[in-house]
């Protein structure tokens, strides 16, 4: 019998041994309030209709499921379908979650939004929906990230957000998250913390997954229609915190469909050279949740590296840790070099420049397709590559 996977974590937010809520006492009340609000509204016709309308009119859903004929022919094996989240407003799947959380913030009467961002993509999506809802927006960002991502800092400011630099530790995402948590502890009466991936203390991993689940719901229907009622053989998605991957996977968990999540293999297997939590990490607690984490022998959080900023984080979402231990989803990693090569391949064969994050999934499809004749793959193209043009250009000097 097929084990049933679809559902929710337990009341404490635990996915098996993972997840939960490892948060300071002061944050229990706002987390409970978010959880209660979400459960109260999520299945009401009003909430469902409003989010469906925002998806359709504002962010551009449903996104197409595109058969990549030239890529498939070139690889000479599996038929590869691309779920085009790259076509959404702001260029990636992150907007799905931000629109949902903005509705929850409004429901709770909160007029101020805070968020943290690493590369700036979640900050831009948060600033975007804050403008749309007429809410004040403050984005915390490590000062080193602000320097590296000056264009996204400008975008957020153009959208009316305040960007606050964080000068502590490595001056990157981890410190920005801590600062956002500190803000929230003293501001939650008026402020919603908009967390950007399927991570953090309960109920965030559940809420973010549910708002991203639309990816797989659409893809499943679209695939069934395109293939006379058959299901795909394999789903492929990149895994940073894990929101786009769980968004694609979740609706298929009870089907007999294989799934693979692709982490950032960076440029080596030593600690500090990658962000492959499942091959290099061990279970632990980071920023409110229990999951696989990259840490050194003393339990200090390791530095991570990836050419794609969105995959460059020391922890992975707890639901993925659970699915991995159950053997329901397989996880692998892809090197910086293979991801860059995959950007090239997809650009030339299909006229689609993928985000470097998404290119990790493309690279896995390129690896597997030749020996998978007769199979169909559905690959989540989580974002478009415009944001990465600077990095791509540095890495492809032959193109000028």
Secondary structure (3-state) at 259: strand
Structure letter (DSSP) for residue 397: G
- Smaller CB distance to ligand PLP: residue 188 or 201? 201
Which listed range, 44-52, 242-250, 272-280, 298-306, lies at the site for ligand PLP (CB under 6 A)? 242-250
Could you give the CA distance from residue 329 to residue 248 in angstroms, rounded to a whole number? 12
- Interface residue with ligand PLP among 194, 310, 321, 343 (CB under 6 A) is 310
- Smaller CB distance to ligand PLP: residue 90 or 188? 90
Task: Identify residues 177-216 at the interface with ligand PLP (CB under 6 A).
Answer: 197
Shortest Å distance, C-beta 169 to ligand PLP: 21
C-alpha radius of gyration, the chain, whole number: 20
Task: Identify residues 318-337 at the interface with ligand PLP (CB under 6 A).
Answer: none
β-bridge mates for residue 162, sequence order: 138
Q: Is 116 a catalytic residue?
A: yes
Q: Is 262 in the site for ligand PLP (CB under 6 A)?
A: no
First to last CA, the chain: 56
Q: Is 382 a catalytic residue?
A: yes
Of 358, 357, 392, nearest in space to 82 by CA = 358
- Interface residue with ligand PLP among 137, 238, 323, 372 (CB under 6 A) is 238
Q: Is 172 in the site for ligand PLP (CB under 6 A)?
A: no
Q: Of residues 116, 218, 350, 357, which has the active-site annotation? A: 116
Size of the chain in residues: 400
Of 302, 307, 258, 300, nearest in space to 279 by CA = 302
Q: Is 244 in the site for ligand PLP (CB under 6 A)?
A: yes
Q: Is 94 in the site for ligand PLP (CB under 6 A)?
A: yes
Q: Is 178 a catalytic residue?
A: no
Q: Is 266 in the site for ligand PLP (CB under 6 A)?
A: no
Q: How many CB atoms lie within 10 A of CB 299?
A: 10
Task: Identify residues 104-143 at the interface with ligand PLP (CB under 6 A).
Answer: 121
- Interface residue with ligand PLP among 13, 242, 280, 288 (CB under 6 A) is 242
Which listed range, 52-60, 105-113, 235-243, 288-296, lies at the site for ligand PLP (CB under 6 A)? 235-243
- Interface residue with ligand PLP among 116, 382, 391, 392 (CB under 6 A) is 382
- Smaller CB distance to ligand PLP: residue 51 or 311? 311
Helix runs in 227-330, H state only: 243-249, 277-280, 318-326
Q: Of residues 83, 85, 94, 130, which has the active-site annotation? A: 94
Instruction: Say how far residue 186 (Cα) sits from the centre of its chain.
Output: 27
Helix runs in the chain, H state only: 28-41, 45-54, 69-75, 94-107, 121-133, 143-148, 150-158, 173-187, 204-212, 214-226, 243-249, 277-280, 318-326, 336-350, 356-368, 389-395
Q: How far is CA 124 from CA 76, 279, 314, in A?
A: 39, 31, 22
Structure letter (DSSP) for residue 124: H
- Residue nearest ligand PLP, CB atom distance: 383
Task: Identify residues 349-378 at the interface with ligand PLP (CB under 6 A).
Answer: 355, 357-358
Task: Identify residues 40-79 at the interface with ligand PLP (CB under 6 A).
Answer: none
β-bridge mates for residue 295, sequence order: 301
Shortest Å distance, C-beta 177 to ligand PLP: 14
Q: Is 239 in the site for ligand PLP (CB under 6 A)?
A: yes
Catalytic residues: 94, 116, 382
Q: Contact positions toward ligand PLP, by CB under 6 A?
A: 92, 94, 121, 197, 238-245, 310-311, 355, 357-358, 382-383
């Amino acid at each position: 019998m097929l084990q049933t996977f679809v559902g929710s974590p337990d009341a404490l937010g635990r996915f098996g041994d993972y997840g939960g809520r490892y948060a300071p006492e002061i944050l229990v009340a706002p987390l409970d309030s978010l959880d209660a609000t979400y459960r109260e509204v999520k299945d009401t016709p009003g909430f469902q209709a409003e989010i469906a309308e925002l998806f359709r009119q504002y962010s551009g859903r449903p996104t197409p499921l595109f058969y990549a004929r030239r890529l498939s022919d070139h690889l000479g094996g599996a038929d590869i379908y691309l779920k085009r989240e790259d076509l959404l407003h702001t260029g990636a799947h992150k907007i799905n979650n931000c629109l949902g959380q903005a509705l929850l913030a409004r429901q709770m009467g909160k007029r101020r939004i805070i968020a943290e961002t690493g590369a700036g993509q979640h900050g831009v999506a948060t600033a975007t929906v804050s403008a749309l809802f007429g809410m004040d927006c403050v984005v915390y960002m490590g000062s080193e990230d602000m320097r590296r991502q000056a264009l996204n800092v400008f975008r957020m400011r153009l959208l009316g957000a305040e960007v606050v630099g964080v000068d502590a530790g490595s001056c990157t995402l981890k410190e920005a998250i801590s600062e956002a948590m500190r803000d929230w502890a003293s501001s939650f009466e008026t402020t919603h913390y908009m967390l950007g991936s399927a991570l953090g203390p309960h109920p965030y991993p559940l809420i973010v997954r549910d708002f991203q689940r639309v990816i797989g719901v659409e893809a499943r229907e679209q695939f069934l229609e395109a293939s006379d009622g058959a299901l795909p053989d394999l789903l492929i998605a990149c895994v940073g915190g894990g929101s786009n991957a769980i968004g694609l996977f979740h609706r298929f968990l009870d089907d007999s469909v294989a799934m693979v999540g692709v982490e950032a293999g960076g440029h080596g297997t030593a600690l500090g050279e990658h962000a492959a939590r499942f091959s290099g990490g061990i279970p632990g607690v980071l920023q409110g949740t229990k999951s696989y984490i990259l840490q050194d022998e003393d339990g200090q959080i390791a530095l991570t590296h990836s050419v794609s900023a969105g995959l460059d984080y020391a922890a992975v979402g707890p639901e993925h840790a659970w699915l991995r231990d159950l053997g329901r989803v397989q996880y692998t990693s892809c090197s910086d070099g293979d991801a860059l090569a995959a950007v090239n391949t997809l650009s030339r064969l299909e006229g689609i420049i993928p985000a470097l994050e998404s290119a990790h999934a493309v690279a896995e499809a390129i690896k597997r397709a030749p020996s998978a004749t007769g199979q169909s793959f559905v690959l989540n193209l989580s974002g478009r590559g415009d944001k990465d043009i600077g990095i791509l250009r540095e890495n492809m000097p032959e193109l000028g």
